């Protein structure tokens, strides 16, 4: 998390150390200020960085047009924050699919924050399956392990097992778990 006080030399140093994106937390508000989104996107574009967005589904609906206009790729955290109980036909979820269809957005398939039912988060299956089917080449998996602000914390192994259940194709899983991350982060 950076802000506009980082000059170009500081950004280059971060790049040389392996940093590849700027995260905007639009849920709790801590981190990079949202009003710096467009300016920072323009500044990190020459480095090939992306912007990562952590927002709830309502916010994603509000900022989708802005995200589509950014000069960088956008990585959307936690299945876009769209609660599973809304269903995949809900406008919030359809907004995520349109962003993915643009070819410039990526999705982090992390189930628990999109759950309407809570643990064991099985209600998110349809969301994950639809996202993975829509853009398997631009989905990655991850969690907030060790989940410092969650009590009880989700078990990462259970979350990974769910991905294996919800995305049964081994080639697609290889992409989501390994290959896509390599392309996104440049390793």
Q: Does residue 122 sit in helix, strand or coil?
A: helix
Q: Which residues carry out catalysis?
A: 144
Angle, CA of 162, 166 and 169, to the nearest 5°:
120
Residues 6+ apart with CB under 8 A from 86: 57, 92, 93, 116
Distance of CA 114 to the CA centre of its chain: 12
Q: Which two tokens stand for residue 134?
A: 């829509």
């Amino acid at each position: 998390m950076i802000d506009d006080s980082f000059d170009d030399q500081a950004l280059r140093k971060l790049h040389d150390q392996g940093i590849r994106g700027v995260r905007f937390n639009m849920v709790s508000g801590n981190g990079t200020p949202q009003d710096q989104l467009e300016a920072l996107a323009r500044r990190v574009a020459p480095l090939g960085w992306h912007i990562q967005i952590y927002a709830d589904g309502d916010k994603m609906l509000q900022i989708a047009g802005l995200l589509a206009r950014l000069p960088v790729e956008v990585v959307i955290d936690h299945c876009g924050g769209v609660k599973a109980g809304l269903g995949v036909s809900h406008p919030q979820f359809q907004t995520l699919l349109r962003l993915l269809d643009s070819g410039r957005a990526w999705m982090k398939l992390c189930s628990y924050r999109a759950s309407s039912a809570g643990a064991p988060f099985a209600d998110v299956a349809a969301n994950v399956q639809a996202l993975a089917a829509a853009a398997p080449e631009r989905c990655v998996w991850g969690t907030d392990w060790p989940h410092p602000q969650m009590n009880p914390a989700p078990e990462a192994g259970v979350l990974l097992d769910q991905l294996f259940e919800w995305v049964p194709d081994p080639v697609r899983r290889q992409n989501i778990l390994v290959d896509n991350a390599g392309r996104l982060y440049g390793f």
